[in-house]
Structures are given as C-alpha cells and as structure tokens.
Amino acid sequence: MQRLTKQINWWLCLLSGIGLLFISARFFLDPVGAEIAFGIHTPTNGDFSFHHIKGVRDFFLGFIILLLLRKKSSGYWAISC
C-alpha cells in the first residue's frame, strides 16, 4: 500500500513539473493567449514583463520539481509538490 502511494505521488509530481513547464512556455510564446486561458487580465499596453516574470517563475519551479524527481530525492520532491 505504501509503495502504491509513493508511485502515485511520484507521477503527480511529474505531471505537475511538466505542467508548469508547459505553462511557462505558453507565457513566453503567446502571452496574450496564455493570459486569457489562465483567467487573468492585466492592462499591459504592450508591456509583457508580468507575463515573462510568471513564465520564468513557473519554468524554474517545474525544472526544480523534475530535477528532484530525477535525483530521486524522495524527501525533497514530496515537499516540493
């Protein structure tokens, strides 16, 4: 039973990390479309610095989660998710 729980947690963290990488790529490649799909509205007037900051933050969080999963640091990835 405990092994099954660890496997489920591992897969959920993997999906979370990949999802964050996808969200960050979307905020870099199509900031307006990502903003609409994410459900936020910011009056940017052509300045997408908020979107880029959010993209960088999400990229590094997703990268750290995947890095910890790769290193098999079971205590750390459980905390990060």
DSSP states of 17-76 as a string? HHHHHHHHHHHHH-HHHHHHHHT-----TT--HHHHHHHHHHHHHHHHHHHHHHHT-HHH
Q: pLDDT digit of tens for each residue in the chain (81 aa)?
A: 788 888 888 899 899 999 999 999 998 898 888 888 888 887 878 788 888 888 999 999 999 989 888 877 655 555 555
pTM, entire model:
0.77
